[in-house]
Structure 1
Amino acid sequence: MRVLVTAGPTYEPLDPVRFIGNHSTGKMGYALAEAFALTGADVTLVSGPTSLPDPTNSRIAIQRVETADQMYAAAAAVAPAADVWVFAAAVADYKPAHVAENKIKKQGDTLTLELVKNVDIAATLGKNKRPEQFSVGFALETNNEEENAREKLHRKNFNLVVLNSLRDAGAGFRVDTNKVTLLDAQGEMIIFEVKLKAAVAHDIVQAVLARLPREA
């Protein structure tokens, strides 16, 4: 089995020293890559900027990128041959319309930036997903959690969505634990309690394996 996993944040440059980013550490995506590799899968891990060391499992090939455009290019090259896609990265929704060649100097009391939409990696690749391929997305929500997650599941052609809420203690960024709810395309919902991200990754992998088409 061949698996594509995206992990970590993306950094969208403003100038040579500044960027737009987020608090993602990549821990959940890296844990998923390890969990899939332990099942015997060959994993391509496309990682945004993180402080995490490269995985030591020989079944994991890592590709490090910085921007959403770079992550999309790397994922698009791997996706057609992969049986499972797992979009665990926290990709920036927007990027600066223009990147300054030199450091932006401090002038005045305000700074106005023009932002443009980044490519939606999961949705774009999902348009060409074959029936035998299985796609997993993440939904980090702060309100209307289940409704928003189900909308994302259908809009991005996911087979499974991993929902977590920043309102849940032990979930979100910069922690070693997570609390997730799994929602699948058939309407099933499974709620898990707070666990270490390695244990959460195992739960997600088992849910994927149980739902894979027989052809895979």
Structure 2
Amino acid sequence: MKILVTSGGTSEAIDRVRSITNHSTGRLGKVITETLLKAGHQVCLITTQQALKPASHSNLSVIEIKNTSDLLQEMKRIVPDYQVLIHSIAVSDYSPVYMTGLDQVQASQDLSEFLHKKNMESKISSKDEVQVLFLKKNPKIISLVKEWNPSIHLIGFKLLVDVTKEHLIQIARESLEKNQADLIVANDLTQINADQHLAYLVEEKDYQIAASKQEIADLLVKKIQGFDR
């Protein structure tokens, strides 16, 4: 099958030398991609320069992106060409709009004015003791996938921190319904370390448990094989 995988974490520029990002390494996406390739699938991996990547392979193509805007453009372009999407990339929820000193913010009568400004410097001055950074919400790319390709099989990911198993599965099912996904891989950051990666592969009425990145990848490959029947 033709499978699209997204992996790593996006980075949103504040100026030419600073950015806000997340701690995603792309390690899980790498394992998933390698397992798909071993199973004989044709894979396109959308990832970032810093993320871990599999070795080159005749059935693998790689597209590197930097930020959420890049990711949106690339996915809109190629999602219609694929049968399955495994959307494991950590997408930034917000992008910087404007950064300024606290004194300017306190003097303003209308904070919304800062949402229409742009920093013109290549490197914003660090002279102020306190800076205020204004952010805007990024689009939820997973919610657009079915608009681009109604027939694609969608596997999404949900990461929460220090919650109950029941809450994690509930939130995963809400994402499943909202985004018309086939499966959501639900993770809790407190249960991820060098030796384990506990995850719940959540469907509408059932779920499976995986204890490692390789187990997650193996279960996803089995699920995808069912899509092809």
User: TM bucket by the smaller chain?
Assistant: 0.7 to 0.9
Q: How many residues align?
A: 205
**Equivalents in 2 of 1:176, 1:22: separation in Å?**
21
> 2:217 matched to 1:201?
yes
Larger radius of gyration: 2
Matched-pair contact (CA < 8 Å) for 1:26–1:52: yes
> 2:143 matched to 1:127?
no
Structure 1 gaps, min length 5: none
Equivalent position of 2:170 in the other structure:
147
TM-aligned CA distance change 1:128 to 1:64, over 3 Å: closer
Matched-pair contact (CA < 8 Å) for 2:26–2:53: no
Deviations 1:128-187 (A, max 9, x none): 4324x210000111232112111111111111000111132xx16xx46411111113x1
- Secondary structure of residue in 1 paired with 2:190: coil
- Secondary structure of residue in 2 paired with 1:79: helix
- Secondary structure of residue in 1 paired with 2:157: strand
**Equivalents in 1 of 2:34, 2:53: separation in Å?**
13
- Secondary structure of residue in 1 paired with 2:180: coil
Matched-pair contact (CA < 8 Å) for 1:4–1:75: no
Matched-pair contact (CA < 8 Å) for 1:34–1:57: no
2:220 maps to amino acid: I
Deviations 1:55-108 (A, max 9, x none): 322211000110011011112221101000010000101001246341111133
Equivalent position of 1:167 in the other structure:
190
**Equivalents in 2 of 1:73, 1:34: separation in Å?**
25
**Equivalents in 1 of 2:134, 2:91: separation in Å?**
18
Structure 2 gaps, min length 5: 99-117
Question: Normalising by structure 1, what TM-score?
Answer: 0.87
Equivalent position of 1:69 in the other structure:
69
**Equivalents in 2 of 1:206, 1:19: separation in Å?**
38
Equivalent position of 1:24 in the other structure:
24
TM-aligned CA distance change 1:122 to 1:55, over 3 Å: farther
Matched-pair contact (CA < 8 Å) for 2:87–2:155: yes
Which sits farther off after the overlay, 93-102 or 42-51?
A: 93-102
**Equivalents in 2 of 1:44, 1:76: separation in Å?**
14
1:203 maps to amino acid: L
TM-aligned CA distance change 1:41 to 1:53, over 3 Å: closer
> 2:204 matched to 1:189?
no
Matched-pair contact (CA < 8 Å) for 1:4–1:43: yes
Matched-pair contact (CA < 8 Å) for 2:42–2:60: yes
> 2:198 matched to 1:179?
yes
Which structure dedicates a bigger proportion of its chain to helix? 2
Equivalent position of 1:107 in the other structure:
127
1:23 maps to amino acid: H
Taking only aligned residues, the RMSD between alpha carbons, in angstroms, comes to: 1.8
